[in-house]
Structure 1
Amino acid sequence: MPDADRHPLLSTLPPNHAQTRRALWMLLALAVAMAATVPAATLPVPGSGPFVPAYATALLVSDLLTAVLLYALTAVQRSRAVLALAAGYLFCGLTVLPWALTFPGAFSATGLLDVGLQGTATIAATRRLGFPVFALAYALLDDDGPGIADIGRAILGSVLATIAVVAGTTAFAVWDDDWLPRFMIDRQHTTPLWDLVPGLAALLSVVGALLVWRRRRSVLGLWVVIALAAWFVESVLLGFVSAGRLSVGWWAGRLYGLLSASVVLAALLSETMALYGRLVRSIAAERRSREARLTTMEALSASIAHEVNQPLASMVASASAGLRWLDRSRPDLEETRTALRRIVDDGHRAGRVVTGVRTAFRKGSRDRETVDLNALVHEALGQCSAELRVNRIEVRTELDPALAPVTGNPAQLQQVLCNLIANAVDAMDAVTHGPRILRLRTEAPEGGGAVVVVEDTGVGLDPVHQDRLFEPFFTTKPHGMGLGLLICRSIVEAHGGRLSMAGRLPQGAVCRILLPPG
């Protein structure tokens, strides 16, 4: 039904192998326990009458809690089948009250309601046959169509109808003993007529269990089968094995009845908590995913600003230089043209940066081509030549002429090199004594591919910050944004490579880019 597809409910989820295996072990345990009870079933348990109220209280609490949980499940799923099962547990729970109040020896010698000989047995017979009948209704009701339209009214009607049936049965049982079936010979022993009740209850339990197993292959249905099996064992012990009330077989059957009442409750509680745990984990995962998407969007927008800032600054510097050349008494048109060309080149560079950043955050490998890393190093140095000259940095290159080409996006890889060169320039800007040397070298590792190494003689890396270098928005620069290295690593990893940074002795830092073979 439609609701079953939308809600991961116990009444719709199919049981997994572990749940089915546990259910089979419980069935086996029931059979073994029943067999172990038979030899001593006829032995009396004298003085055990006062324990009946405690047993009835446990049964009442278990049945009513199960009914409440099943009604809550019905409110979500709007299932007629689950509604019938909830009414069954409510019926069993409510009939415990008059049964315990009329049971001889529980509260008084003749019971608090002081009914005749047949009253307690009549209530017990009604309860004995009632649960498997409700379980059969659970198995047979069809939930393939639309759910219950007015679920609140349906649940209220079910509760009131069940209360009315229990009240009517109780009134009939206590009104006049002469009208009741002759189930009891005396306070302890039953008539042959009583044997029909547990026999019919056992038959209904078997039929109900088979139908539930066949038609309702769900977690809830699995535990209803266990409950019906326990009900079957209880019926057999009470009707055919025990020696009447308060014998070993009678008490064993009652304990199986308590198990029958508790197994669905335990399943509902445990599976509900498991579902709740999965829901909490799912919500937490969704929240983390949403936060990650927001962080990515922030990183993307901030990284575009970060990366475009360099070509914009160069364009401003070139434009200022061009204006100065034009403001001379005799304007130098050739220098002005050179400045304008630099502006055009920086404009194209900014466009490539934006495209590269956008592509870096996509999945897959678009715009890939064969890349000569040695030529790319020269192009990156040409892009950063102005900054290198201004900061009086000596550039040394050691490029392997036999380096094999790699496959990648040249704009993105050039962006990585420009970022690393810019970081090296910033690191050496604080060096007042000693050489300022930027060394770039390429080499071919033994496993294939290519390596680009960028070394500087700057201030080096603080070991405290070593593990945070690639965190978003972490920076040691006064005006940094903390995105350059993050973008570089994202680009390199998108190419199947690896980016690492380490300190350099006696000072400076070494950045190593490893790219796979093309």
Structure 2
Amino acid sequence: MGQDPLFLLTKTPISRGQWRLAVGVLVALLAALLVTAPFAQVPLENTEGLLLVYATAVFIVELITAALLLALVSVQRSLAVLALSIGYLFSGVMVLPWAVSFPGVPALVNLSETGLQTTAAIAMIRRLGFPLFVLAYALLKESGPNARPPKGWQQNIIFGSVTGVVVIACGLTWLVFTNDDTLPRFMQDAQKVSAVWNFVAATAAGLSVAGLAVLWTRQRSVLDLWLMVVLCTFLIEICLLAYLSSGRLSVGWWAGRVYGLISSSIVLFAFLSETVSNYTRLAHSVSAERRAREARLTAMEALSASIAHEINQPLASIVTNADAGLRWLARSDPDLSEARAALTRIVNDGHRSAEVIKGIRAMFTEGTQDRVPVDANRLIKEVLNRSLSEVKLARVSIRTEFDERLPLVTGCPVQLEQVISNLIANAIDAMSTITDRERVLRITSALHGTDEILVSVEDSGTGMAPNSKGRIFEPFFTTKPDGMGMGLMFCRSVIEAHGGRLWMSDNEPNGAIFHFTIPSANSPATINLTHDHRWKVAP
């Protein structure tokens, strides 16, 4: 609490790109000045009507800028930002009486002509007032606790400031309009300024230079940088209006007005740019958060589905053995040895279920599952022995071809058992509808390269449809009516966590072959295997 958000324009540090952009803007403005200077004294007659358009644009721009700065005040409770917002509000309000009092403009809007010095006097107030407020901002921005009033102060001070600016602007306008005879002689005639006005221009330039100097020594934020650009543009405007032009409504005078509009707009464009940047960052952040949340939900769904999928086989075995045990006990002469064997198998399946759940959870959590040297051939034979009843029931012939010289692999036996069990169960399911040929399950193991083993599980079933081949490893994708779509994803995740690879190919003339490789215990891939074996759910 008590810390200002870093994304505010007054707190965002200046980047190199922003420095380059600011320098580029100033170079472009100076280049435009050099192009305009030779034509500055060329008169442009009958252009008074454009002043109303110019004044309206300045009024809207400065009013919006003041509103955005006041919004910052409500967040930061900063007197410095308040002073700057008042400066923009005051300048914007005063531009309206300046425009409607300009010689020739009152007749366009059915008003009475004002005195000769009225417009120049209002221009003087704007010309000296704005750099004074910028200087006040620069001086207050690091003046310590006094520049940061207590919380709850914002609403009253903002309302009071806006009301005060409007009242002061109206009061000054009334005084200027009703006392033209007592005003200093700023104008010689309706077109040319007097020497007194040169003093006003010099004073305004001096205040701008002072503001630049203070901002340069105290600049910390993007707002400070663009305020320096504003003051530089303001100086160019003064140069064109007071020294290069031949008087009102000349090329130089109108060029100065264009610079004035640019000067009024710079901070607004900085606000808009920073707002777009913040919105982009927010959109990226929200999108990243949504993806992360979806990934977590997918991971939880995958965890739940995987546990349900992988625990189904040992649970089915438990039910089968429990039924067998009940039958042995229900006989007129109970066979206790057979019942005891069935109960032993139930206990073993229960322990295996717990190990399966433990192995799946380990894929989603930090750390590693305990890994030990594993004989792949022995592991395959154990899974086949447990699957014999299913194989016989499905009328499937088993053919094996093991390379007995295979090196050991390092892995989690429970997870690798589940992979082999899933592949065998899938092969049996794929052949369940075959009636016109022999149902053959062929399992082979061989050395792959110099430091990997290759295990292949073949079936003579219906094969895989072309449009399904690219999706069979996706979560929740299945070609079975009652499938969950988690088995092959689980298998691939396990194999990849062991540093291997799982893929499918067609079995000619019928069926499919699933191959997987695992590095041997002494291969570099196993030795350097990462310690983070969590299941990576694809986005």
TM-score range, shorter-chain basis?
A: over 0.9
SS of the equivalent of 1:429 reads coil
1:475 aligns with 2:478: yes
1:361 aligns with 2:360: no
* Greater Cα shift, 474-483 or 395-404: 395-404
Mapping for residues 39-54 of structure 1, pairs under 5 Å: 39-54=38-53
The counterpart of 1:314, out of the listed 313, 317, 340, is: 317
Q: Which amino acid aligns with 2:427?
A: A
The counterpart of 1:332, out of the listed 332, 335, 346, is: 335
* Kept in 2: contact 1:66–1:86 (CA 8 A): yes
Task: Pick closer, same or farther for the CA change 1:477–1:22 going to 2, 3 Å.
Answer: same
1:243 aligns with 2:246: yes
Paired with 1:232 and 1:157, the residues of 2 have a C-alpha distance of 31
Paired with 1:263 and 1:117, the residues of 2 have a C-alpha distance of 32
Cα offset, 1:28, TM superposition:
0.9
The answer for the alignment partner of 1:218 in structure 2 is 221
Runs of 4+ in 1 over 4 A off after TM superposition: 143-148
Cα offset, 1:308, TM superposition:
1.2
1:4 aligns with 2:4: yes
Task: Pick closer, same or farther for the CA change 1:497–1:70 going to 2, 3 Å.
Answer: farther
1:506 aligns with 2:505: no
Q: Which amino acid aligns with 2:179?
A: D
Mapping for residues 52-451 of structure 1, pairs under 5 Å: 52-108=51-107, 112=111, 114-142=113-141, 149-150=151-152, 151-446=154-449, 448-451=451-454
Task: Pick closer, same or farther for the CA change 1:219–1:514 going to 2, 3 Å.
Answer: farther
Q: Which amino acid aligns with 2:468?
A: H
CA deviation profile, 1:260-300 (whole Å, cap 9, x unmatched): 11122222223312321321232122122212212221221
* Kept in 2: contact 1:101–1:111 (CA 8 A): no
Cα offset, 1:255, TM superposition:
0.6
Paired with 2:443 and 2:464, the residues of 1 have a C-alpha distance of 18
SS of the equivalent of 2:105 reads coil
Paired with 2:444 and 2:215, the residues of 1 have a C-alpha distance of 74
Paired with 1:156 and 1:14, the residues of 2 have a C-alpha distance of 30
CA deviation profile, 1:95-142 (whole Å, cap 9, x unmatched): 110100111122339994533222111111111122222222332323
* Kept in 2: contact 1:139–1:211 (CA 8 A): yes
Task: Pick closer, same or farther for the CA change 1:110–1:307 going to 2, 3 Å.
Answer: closer
Paired with 1:330 and 1:460, the residues of 2 have a C-alpha distance of 49
* Kept in 2: contact 1:102–1:110 (CA 8 A): no
Task: Pick closer, same or farther for the CA change 1:512–1:96 going to 2, 3 Å.
Answer: same
Cα offset, 1:383, TM superposition:
3.5
Q: Which amino acid aligns with 2:18?
A: Q
Structure 2 unaligned regions, length at least 5: 520-524, 527-539
CA deviation profile, 1:452-505 (whole Å, cap 9, x unmatched): 222212222112222221222222222222211222222223333332223322
Structure 1 unaligned regions, length at least 5: none
Cα offset, 1:359, TM superposition:
0.7
Paired with 2:293 and 2:40, the residues of 1 have a C-alpha distance of 63
* Kept in 2: contact 1:403–1:443 (CA 8 A): yes
Cα offset, 1:398, TM superposition:
2.5
SS of the equivalent of 2:4 reads helix
Mapping for residues 32-43 of structure 1, pairs under 5 Å: 32-43=31-42
Paired with 1:211 and 1:379, the residues of 2 have a C-alpha distance of 83
Q: Which amino acid aligns with 1:279?
A: L
The answer for the alignment partner of 2:537 in structure 1 is none
* Greater Cα shift, 97-106 or 63-72: 63-72
* Kept in 1: contact 2:322–2:346 (CA 8 A): yes
Cα offset, 1:346, TM superposition:
0.5
The answer for the alignment partner of 2:22 in structure 1 is 23
What is the identity percentage for the equivalent residue pairs of Structure 1 and Structure 2? 50
1:458 aligns with 2:461: yes
Paired with 1:89 and 1:225, the residues of 2 have a C-alpha distance of 15
Q: Which amino acid aligns with 2:509?
A: P
CA deviation profile, 1:358-401 (whole Å, cap 9, x unmatched): 01122453423333323322233233333223323222233333
SS of the equivalent of 1:206 reads helix
* Kept in 2: contact 1:51–1:106 (CA 8 A): no
Paired with 1:312 and 1:479, the residues of 2 have a C-alpha distance of 17
Paired with 1:394 and 1:196, the residues of 2 have a C-alpha distance of 108
Paired with 1:271 and 1:2, the residues of 2 have a C-alpha distance of 22
SS of the equivalent of 1:63 reads helix
The answer for the alignment partner of 2:498 in structure 1 is 495
* Kept in 1: contact 2:106–2:113 (CA 8 A): no
Cα offset, 1:193, TM superposition:
1.8
Paired with 1:140 and 1:400, the residues of 2 have a C-alpha distance of 85
Paired with 1:408 and 1:494, the residues of 2 have a C-alpha distance of 9
* Kept in 2: contact 1:365–1:495 (CA 8 A): no
Task: Pick closer, same or farther for the CA change 1:209–1:416 going to 2, 3 Å.
Answer: farther
Cα offset, 1:431, TM superposition:
2.0
Task: Pick closer, same or farther for the CA change 1:475–1:206 going to 2, 3 Å.
Answer: same
Task: Pick closer, same or farther for the CA change 1:485–1:209 going to 2, 3 Å.
Answer: farther
- Normalising by structure 1, we get a TM-score of 0.93
- Normalising by structure 2, we get a TM-score of 0.89
Task: Pick closer, same or farther for the CA change 1:250–1:435 going to 2, 3 Å.
Answer: same
Root-mean-square deviation over aligned CA pairs: 2.4
CA deviation profile, 1:164-202 (whole Å, cap 9, x unmatched): 221122122112123322212221111222112222222
CA deviation profile, 1:125-162 (whole Å, cap 9, x unmatched): 11112222222233232377566623222221221122
Paired with 1:498 and 1:153, the residues of 2 have a C-alpha distance of 69
Q: Which amino acid aligns with 1:495?
A: H
Paired with 1:452 and 1:82, the residues of 2 have a C-alpha distance of 72
SS of the equivalent of 2:290 reads helix
* Kept in 1: contact 2:374–2:408 (CA 8 A): yes
Paired with 1:390 and 1:378, the residues of 2 have a C-alpha distance of 19
Paired with 1:316 and 1:147, the residues of 2 have a C-alpha distance of 75
Q: Which amino acid aligns with 2:251?
A: V
SS of the equivalent of 1:515 reads strand
* Kept in 2: contact 1:3–1:77 (CA 8 A): no
Task: Pick closer, same or farther for the CA change 1:154–1:457 going to 2, 3 Å.
Answer: farther
SS of the equivalent of 1:499 reads strand
* Kept in 2: contact 1:396–1:438 (CA 8 A): yes
* Kept in 2: contact 1:45–1:248 (CA 8 A): yes
Task: Pick closer, same or farther for the CA change 1:505–1:214 going to 2, 3 Å.
Answer: farther
